Structure 1
């Protein structure tokens, strides 16, 4: 009987040591995240989710802000590499330049997760392909997002004639811009819509820029039927321009569902949006990085997404704003 107690006692000690070791490992893990610009609500929400999940996992976080500058974002990523953090996540400003940052992290054996932005030349990289040196691309499916908006937009277009559509794109060089437009066209085609895209202009991801772009398009095409904003703030700004001139053009958005966006749909200033979950993306990114940092056998080039839904005035309760 004595030997039995001894075995049980030793087993308990072994378990305790194992738990202590795990706790120590968790406390020693530091994950860095570099935002594109913390002034963008999506970025702030994604970082919030990242920090919350890292805390739950017992990891420390370092948050840096690219402030809309590719050069500043690159310097921030280099700083994290030199600090030898255990993992890096970033909401990338430039899909092409980002390859060099991911490569440098890989050379230092630091896992890298791209938060919401595909890495690689948008004109050359196949859709949904994950850059091989990334641990993961954590994002909504941008083609699907555009397609869902296109299907919704088709129901809003006038019947019996070719509708006129304007697209307010995000920053040139970001893979999501091309993908959302491609998906949008696919969605319209799927619904058999008759349309002409009379204007498509890239700009910064802000309401002010969205308003300015739509003002210009409305001046050139006052009879436009619908605007597709590739981000909620772009749609919000565009809806202001539409109201200012008394246009009847509808406004729809991808990457939507912000608090202000939901309010705009509720009062009829926007027709609908695809509900975006930046906090969820941030949490999934932190989890993917933590897993890679604590398990060197974690597979690379993972694509991690979540289910998307379209929201209109009829089902607003299904979209819980995260930004």
Structure 2
């Protein structure tokens, strides 16, 4: 669920080019409606969301045209796209907002333009969401973290480590990541009261996370484990452990499945557990929610629960690779 906040405004005009169209067979593009879609970044989860939304659109019959953008975690780029699709009077807007606060004005504009808004994965503040958002597809982030905290406790119990030292590589510029950590800490400390968080630093993309994790290993060479709050943070921590020769000493518990994460979990030397919300499942739920809203079949604001999965063994890593040969989570 990672994102970068670096400004790329100069790319907006290029990024707004359609990334994909889904139209009814034999019909004209857009004759079955148009939906604006915003992906926070290009990591694997959002590829799954795109597939899921296309599947949901096709399953509902007359599939609408999807106007799509990768906002690259940039609230300004996101805002420009929403301005454009609002002016174009799309039938709905589906997005994972880059910011709980900075994304509010653009979403408010869409709402006031008569465009129903569906959030997924992240959203704006709850007060604003209740005013401007029709549905929010969300896997409970506290439960997400708790599941991984329980897996971490299981591991530390198996290796006889009663007072583990944990470092966090975070994505806490979005609220769901803060809540993931809270759930993780609650579950772990319920079973291991002596567990300590020795560092908590941001590193949401793989390259950023590698640098952050290596610095943490320099400052805390005796750290027992990393917790990666998103996919980039997880794999960056794994690579740092490997690069610093800490395999066998420091393990990683992480978020968001991908081909690389499944391979590392199957290997079993560093990555010991991954909690995941399927992008495909989220995309399907978001697409279905948009369809229900357009038909007038849903309340003005509601949370749509997304399923959460724990992968904690090498066998489960191999099974994921078999089930996802294209790598789309």
Q: TM-score range by the shorter chain?
A: 0.7 to 0.9
- SS at structure 1 position matched to 2:271: coil
Q: Given the alignment, which residue of 76, 80, 85 partners 2:85?
A: 80
Q: Displacement of 1:185 after TM fit? A: 1.1
Q: In the alignment, what sits opposite 1:16?
A: none
Which 4+ runs in 1 deviate beyond 6 A? none
* SS at 2:57 equivalent: helix
- In 1, Cα distance between the equivalents of 2:97 and 2:252? 27
Equivalent residue in structure 2 for 1:99, among 90, 96, 104: 104
Q: Distance in 2 between matches of 1:181 and 1:300?
A: 30
Q: Secondary structure at the match of 1:28?
A: coil
Q: Conserved in 2, the CA contact under 8 Å of 1:130 and 1:303?
A: no
Q: Once the 2 structures are TM-superposed, how far is the Cα of residue 211 of structure 1 from its aligned partner?
A: 1.0
1:154-169 paired onto structure 2 within 5 Å: 154-157=153-156, 159=160, 161-169=162-170
- Once residues 134 and 284 of structure 2 are traced to their aligned partners in structure 1, the CA distance between those partners, rounded to angstroms, is 15
Match of 2:211 in 1: 212
Assess if the C-alpha contact under 8 Å between 1:133 and 1:300 holds in 2. no
Shift in alpha-carbon separation, 1:315–1:258, aligned structure 2, 3 A:
same
Contact 1:50 1:279 in 2 (8 A): yes
- 3-state SS in 2 of match to 1:68: coil
* Structure 1 portions without partners, runs of 5+: 1-22
> Counterpart of 2:32?
28
| Kept after mapping to 2: 8 A contact 1:131/1:301 | yes
Q: Residues of 2 paired with 1:174 and 1:73: CA distance?
A: 15
Residue number in structure 2 paired with 1:261: 261
The 1-side partners of 2:107 and 2:187 are apart by 33
8 Å CA contact 2:189, 2:195 repeated in 1: no
Q: TM-score, normalised by structure 1?
A: 0.83
User: Do 2:263 and 2:317's aligned partners in 1 also have CA atoms closer than 8 Å?
Assistant: no
Contact 2:121-2:139 at 8 Å conserved across structures: yes
Asked if 1:48 corresponds to 2:47, the answer is no
**SS across alignment from 2:274:** strand
Distance 2:278 2:205 in 1: 18
CA contact (8 A) 2:37 2:95 kept: yes
- Mapping 1:1-323, distance limit 5 Å: 27-37=31-41, 39-57=42-60, 58=62, 59-120=64-125, 131-157=130-156, 159=160, 161-170=162-171, 172-203=172-203, 205-247=204-246, 248-254=249-255, 256-268=256-268, 269-295=270-296, 298-312=298-312, 313-316=314-317, 319=320, 320-321=323-324, 322-323=328-329
Give, in angstroms, the shift of residue 207 of structure 1.
1.4
- Rg (Cα) greater in structure: 1
Worse-matched range after superposition: 238-247 or 45-54: 45-54
Classify 1:34/1:227 alpha carbon distance in 2 versus 1 (closer, same or farther; 3 Å): same
Q: Secondary structure at the match of 1:304?
A: strand
Contact persistence 1:130–1:302 (CA under 8 A): no
The answer to whether the Cα contact below 8 Å between 1:33 and 1:64 also exists between their aligned partners in 2 is yes
**Which runs of 5 or more structure 2 residues have no equivalent in the other structure?**
1-26
**2:239 & 2:223 partners in 1: Cα distance?**
15
Q: What value does the CA root-mean-square deviation take over the aligned residues?
A: 2.3
Change (3 A) 1:71 1:230: same
Deviation of 1:216 (Å): 0.6
Separation in structure 1 between the aligned mates of residue 267 and residue 252 of structure 2, nearest angstrom: 13
